[in-house]
Amino acid sequence: MQYLETFRLIEAIARAGSIRKAAEDSNITASALNRRLARFEAEFGSQIFERLPRGVRLNPAGELVLQHYRAQRSDLGRVQSQVADLSGERRGHVAIACSQALLPFFLPQQIATYRNAHPGVTFAVNVRDREQAEAELSSFRSDLALVFEPMVLVDFAVLHAIPQPVCALFARDHPLAGRSELRLRDCLDHPHIAPAQKYGVRGLLDMAAKRVGRKVSPVVETESFELIRYYVMHERAVGFQIPIGLSSEKDTGLVFRPISGRDMSPGNLLLGQMRGRVLSVATSRFADQVALALAKMSDG
Amino acid sequence: MQYLETFRLIEAIARAGSIRKAAEDSNITASALNRRLARFEAEFGSQIFERLPRGVRLNPAGELVLQHYRAQRSDLGRVQSQVADLSGERRGHVAIACSQALLPFFLPQQIATYRNAHPGVTFAVNVRDREQAEAELSSFRSDLALVFEPMVLVDFAVLHAIPQPVCALFARDHPLAGRSELRLRDCLDHPHIAPAQKYGVRGLLDMAAKRVGRKVSPVVETESFELIRYYVMHERAVGFQIPIGLSSEKDTGLVFRPISGRDMSPGNLLLGQMRGRVLSVATSRFADQVALALAKMSDG
DNA sequence: CCGATCCGGTGCATTATCTGCACCGGTCGT
DNA sequence: ACGACCGGTGCAGATAATGCACCGGATCGG
C-alpha cells in the first residue's frame, strides 16, 4: 500500500536511530526522508522524534504513532485476507512465534498440511523463547504464538492449551532405558544435558529438583534443543525435552520417557494470540487447525 | 491527515453512490477521483465497488475496507488525543449519541463542566433513538452512547448504568398532584400524552399496562419529549418521562412523580461505548465524569 | 423508437508534489 | 583543532496527480 509508505519510513528511522542511516536502508536520500518526516510531524501536530546530536530517537508520542501504525497494518492484512476469502480462494500470511520444540515435527507438518489445502497462504516462523514470545505478539511481528510455559500473559490470549510432561531422553542402551517408572533423582544421578535457564523445561526441572533437595548440574548446558537430542547419542547422558519435539519412531536409537508425575507436574504448551486483536481469516483457520491437532494429540 | 485522503474520498463515493457526485462534493473532477479509486483498487488487489449503469455501489469487500478506514481514523484520533495529553493540555473531540431525555439538563451541564476544565475538547451531540444508538457506535460515528433501555447490546459495552423510574408529569393543579403514591391505572384514566413506540419509556408503559389488562391510548403521541413537557401545561393531561430529563425546580408549574414500583419496575439508563474499542483520552475522561455524575445522582 | 442525460473510463497537456544534489551549521570523538 | 556525522534547507529536475475533452454504454422520458 502506497499510503503506508510514510509510516514504513518512520519505522525505519526508529529502527536505524538516524535519518541518514534509514535513508540508506530505504534507498532514498536523507533529504527526502527528512522532508517526509517533517511533513508528517507538521500534519500530525507534534514531533515524534527527539533530535539528538548523534541522530534521532522516538519520543513517547512517536511510540504511540508507531504502535498505531502496526495495529493498522495488521488490520489491513486482516481485511485483505477476508476479502480473499470472499472470492473463494484463501490467501494471506501467518507469522508464528514458537518454541524450539515445535520445529522438528509439529510445525512443519501443520504448515504443510495447511498449505496443501491453501497454497495461497504463506508463513513466517520466528523462533523465540517464552519471554520474547509475548512481546512478539504485542508488536504485531507475529500473529500467533505457540510456546511452552510462557512468562507474563498480559497481552497473551490463550486459544488452546495442552499439558506436556518433561521427558528424559537417552540412547536405547542407556541403563535407565529399562526402568518402568522414571524418577527425577535417577536422571540427576547420571550425567545430564539441559537447556539454558530461560527455557520452560529447565525452569520446571530446577523447581522440581529444588523440592527434593537436589540441583540440576548439567555437564552440558545449551540453547539448542537439537544439540541435546544429538548429544545423548554420543555420551551416555540424559537429556530433557517435551514430547512434542520428539519422534516416537523406534529406529532412531533415541528413547524418551516422561519423568514421574510424583516428581514434577507437566508444563503447559500454549497456543495464543494478542489479546483483543482480530485475526485474519488465514491465521484464524490455521489456529483452529493447530488447536485441533493439539487436542487430538493430548487425547490419543 | 493527507494519507487518509483516498479513504475519505472512497467514503464520499459510497455516500454519494456515484463517482461524479462524490467528485462534485469533494471539489475535484470525476476523472481524478476515478483514477484514485482505480489506483486504490489495483493496489488493494480487488474491486471495492460494483459498477452499475447508474453509478457504483460498495461490494462486500468495500464494506470491509470502509469499516477498516473508520476504525483506523478513530484510532488515529485516540493517538492524537493521547499525544495532546502528554503535553499537559487536553485536546480532542467527543461524539455522543444520546436519548432526548439527556438534552435539557444533564448533557449541557456535563459538557459545560468538562469544557470549563478542558477548553481544547470539542463535542458533537447526536440525538438517536435506542435502536440507532448502537449502530452509531459500531460505525464509529459516535464514541459514547447514553441511552435509556437500548435494544440489542452486542457491540454495546456498558460503562455505567443507573435505574430510572418512569415518571408521570402534569400541571401543578392537576387532580393527581395530591396523591401520595401514583398508580399506573390512575394515569391511564386521565387523558395522557405519550412518546412514540420506539422509545424506551413507551415500551415500559405498554408492558406494564398489558400486565394489568389496560392499554396505553394517548390523546397525543409524539417523538418529541419537549412537546410532552409543554403539552401537559396546556391540557389537563398526564405525560410520561424519566426524571433525568425533568427539572426539580418548583417554579415551572410542572410536577412529576414516579409511578409506583408495584405497577412498573424502573428502566435503565446506560452509558456505553463500542465493545473492544480503545477510547481517546478526552472521551475516556468525559465518560468517567458522566459515570460519576450518574452515580451521585442515583445515590443522592 | 430515439434523443437527452447520466454514468464510468481514457488520452493528453498542465500542475502540483516529491526527490536528489549540494551545502550549511552544529556536536562529538580523537 | 580537525574530521566525521548529524539534522536541516534552497533549488532544479523527476515523478505523480489533476483537469479537460471526449468515448462508449445504459437508462429514462416522450
Mutation target for A interface from B69, B79, B140, B278: give the one with most A CBs within 10 A.
B79
CA to C1' distance (Å), from A261 to D27: 79
Considering CB atoms only, which of B43, B82, B276 is closest to A1? B43
Number of CB atoms found within 10 A of residue A91's CB: 19
Mutation target for B interface from A4, A80, A273: give the one with most B CBs within 10 A.
A80
CB-CB neighbors (< 8 A) of A71 in chain B? 75
- Say yes or no: B88 contacts chain A, CB-CB below 8 A: no
Q: Would you call A83 and B46 a contact, using CB atoms and an 8 Å cutoff?
A: yes
Q: Please give the share of chain A, as a percent, with pLDDT higher than 90.
A: 87
For chain B, give the secondary structure using H, E and C: CHHHHHHHHHHHHHHHCCHHHHHHHCCCCHHHHHHHHHHHHHHHCCCCEEEECCEEEECHHHHHHHHHHHHHHHHHHHHHHHHHHHCCCCCEEEEEEECHHHCCCHHHHHHHHHHHHCCCEEEEEEECCHHHHHHHHHCCCCCEEEEECCCCCCCEEEEEEEEECCEEEEECCCHHHHCCCECHHHHHHCCEEEECCCCHHHHHHHHHHHHCCCCCCCCEEECCHHHHHHHCCCCCCEEEECHHHCCCCCCCCEEEEEECCCCCCCEEEEEEEECCCCCCHHHHHHHHHHHHHHHHHHHC
Q: How is residue B247 written as a grid cell? A: 427539572
Give how far B110 is from chain A: nearest CA, Å: 28
pLDDT of residue A29: 94
pTM for this one?
0.83
* Class of domain B167-265 (CATH, top level): alpha beta
* CB of B57 within 7 Å of some strand C atom: no
CA to C1' distance (Å), from B30 to D19: 9
In the predicted structure, residue B177 carries a pLDDT above the cut 90: no
Assign domain B90-162+268-299 one CATH number from 1.10.620.20, 3.30.300.30, 3.40.50.300, 3.40.190.10.
3.40.190.10
Parallel, antiparallel, or unpaired for β B167-171 and B254-258? antiparallel
Q: Would you call B68 and A83 a contact, using CB atoms and an 8 Å cutoff?
A: no
In the predicted structure, residue A106 carries a pLDDT above the cut 70: yes
Specify the CATH architecture of the domain A90-163+268-299. Answer: 3-Layer(aba) Sandwich (3.40)
| Chain B residue with Cα closest to A6 | B3
CA to C1' distance (Å), from B16 to C6: 14
CB-CB neighbors (< 8 A) of B1 in chain A? 43-44
pLDDT, tens digit (0-9, with 9 covering 90-100), for B268-293: 999 999 998 999 999 999 999 999 99
CA to C1' distance (Å), from A44 to C23: 29
In the predicted structure, residue A150 carries a pLDDT above the cut 80: yes
pLDDT, tens digit (0-9, with 9 covering 90-100), for A233-280: 999 899 999 999 998 766 678 899 999 999 999 999 999 999 989 999
Which is more confident, A178 or A250? A178
The type of residue at A209 is A
pLDDT of residue B2: 66
pLDDT, tens digit (0-9, with 9 covering 90-100), for B101-152: 999 999 999 999 999 999 999 999 999 999 999 999 999 999 999 999 999 8
CA to C1' distance (Å), from A59 to C23: 29
pLDDT, tens digit (0-9, with 9 covering 90-100), for A124-139: 999 999 999 999 999 9
Distances, alpha carbon A170 to alpha carbons A38, A208, A225, A256, B196, in Å: 61, 20, 14, 6, 79
pLDDT of residue B58: 95
CB-CB neighbors (< 8 A) of B84 in chain A? 46
Across the range B241-263, mean pLDDT stands at: 88
Point out the least confidently predicted range of A77-81, B200-204, B252-256: B252-256
* CB of B3 within 7 Å of some strand C atom: no
Specify the CATH architecture of the domain B2-65. Answer: Orthogonal Bundle (1.10)
Number of CB atoms found within 10 A of residue A253's CB: 11
Which is more confident, B299 or B198? B198
In the predicted structure, residue B202 carries a pLDDT above the cut 70: yes
CB-CB neighbors (< 8 A) of B37 in chain A? none
| Adjacency order of strands within the sheet including B238-241 | B220-222, B192-195, B238-241, B167-171, B254-258
Q: Please give the share of chain A, as a percent, with pLDDT higher than 70.
A: 98
CB-CB neighbors (< 8 A) of A43 in chain B? 1-2
Mean pLDDT, all residues of chain A: 93
B57 strand-pairing partners: B50
- Say yes or no: A64 contacts chain B, CB-CB below 8 A: yes
Q: B161 pLDDT band (50/70/90 cuts)?
A: very high
pLDDT, tens digit (0-9, with 9 covering 90-100), for A3-42: 799 999 999 999 999 999 999 999 999 999 999 999 999 9
In the predicted structure, residue B74 carries a pLDDT above the cut 80: yes
pLDDT of residue A2: 66
Give how far A81 is from chain B: nearest CA, Å: 10
* CB of A8 within 7 Å of some strand C atom: no
Q: Would you call B3 and A1 a contact, using CB atoms and an 8 Å cutoff?
A: no
Q: Would you call B4 and A4 a contact, using CB atoms and an 8 Å cutoff?
A: no
CB-CB neighbors (< 8 A) of B87 in chain A? 46
CA to C1' distance (Å), from B76 to D7: 27
Q: How is residue A237 written as a grid cell? A: 547422558
- Say yes or no: A113 contacts chain B, CB-CB below 8 A: no
Is there a contact between B244 and B122 (Cβ–Cβ < 8 Å)? no
Phi-psi region of A23 (alpha: psi -120 to 50; beta: other; left: phi over 0): alpha
- Please state the separation of Cα B1 from the chain's center in Å: 28
Q: Where in the sequence of chain A do the CATH 3.40.190.10 domains occur?
A: 90-163+268-299
Residue nearest to nucleotide C18 (CA to C1'): A32
Considering CB atoms only, which of B4, B65, B86 is closest to A79? B65
Considering CB atoms only, which of A1, A64, A76 is closest to B82? A64
In the predicted structure, residue A87 carries a pLDDT above the cut 90: no
Distance CA A297, CA B37 (A): 49
Across the range B210-229, mean pLDDT stands at: 94
Q: Where in the sequence of chain B do the CATH 3.40.190.290 domains occur?
A: 167-265
- Say yes or no: A61 contacts chain B, CB-CB below 8 A: yes
pLDDT of residue A251: 67
For chain A, give the secondary structure using H, E and C: CHHHHHHHHHHHHHHHCCHHHHHHHCCCCHHHHHHHHHHHHHHHCCCCEEEECCEEEECHHHHHHHHHHHHHHHHHHHHHHHHHHHCCCCCEEEEEEECHHHCCCHHHHHHHHHHHHCCCEEEEEEECCHHHHHHHHHCCCCCEEEEECCCCCCCEEEEEEEEECCEEEEECCCHHHHCCCECHHHHHHCCEEEECCCCHHHHHHHHHHHHCCCCCCCCEEECCHHHHHHHCCCCCCEEEECHHHCCCCCCCCEEEEEECCCCCCCEEEEEEEECCCCCCHHHHHHHHHHHHHHHHHHHC
CB-CB neighbors (< 8 A) of A39 in chain B? 2
pLDDT, tens digit (0-9, with 9 covering 90-100), for B54-73: 899 999 999 999 999 999 99
Q: Where in the sequence of chain A do the CATH 1.10.10.10 domains occur?
A: 2-65
